[in-house]
Structure 1
Amino acid sequence: MIDISRELQVVANTGRLTMGVRQSIKAILNGDAKLVIMAANVPPSIRQDVERYAKLSQVPVFTYAGTSWELGGALRRSHKIAVVAIIDPGESSIMSLAGGANV
């Protein structure tokens, strides 16, 4: 089992990611997103939108076990982050999560 918080920091340092609902949906629709991670407390309407677009684009979606505050903290941000789209994993092994269901 990988440490998702550590892997997110590696992606932030060596790869590319986008944070936020609108930017993540844009990355999904443009075909840039390789993986989408959502906080456990994302409102159902946002969750449905992101999951619908991800399914159409065949992008795996995972639910981070923590809240949006905790997801923001994992990325060393001092604000909430509900959705993160991984564009380029860099040196991270975060893409190994693509075979699972929840993070």
Structure 2
Amino acid sequence: MGVENQAVRLQGERGNKPYDLERMLRIYMLQNLYDLSDMGTVAEVIDSRAFSAFCGVDSSNQVPDGDTLGRFRHILEENGIQQKLFAQVVRRLMEKIIK
């Protein structure tokens, strides 16, 4: 089962409309690559043009707050999705390098 399929299964049905999964995963990747806190990541996505462009963010309204990002991170970690996500990224990068 792919990472995206696993993450979609974890989304709840109550509460506000969830943030776009791809955007959340991109934010999570940046957080890990730059070793940022939840709040630090949110600030960088809002303030940095490079981070905003990578995450597809046009407005600060499209960026989750630090608590939401932390909950998302914990869900990925608790369900073993973090390792699968990074393994997929490495595999795809290696495929691009080999071509």
Same fold (TM over 0.5): no
Structure having greater relative contact order (Cα 8 Å, sep ≥ 6): 1
* TM-score of the pair, normalised by structure 2: 0.29
TM-score scaled to structure 1, two decimals?
Answer: 0.28
Structure with the bigger percentage of strand: 1
Structure number with larger C-alpha Rg: 2
Higher share of residues assigned helix: 2
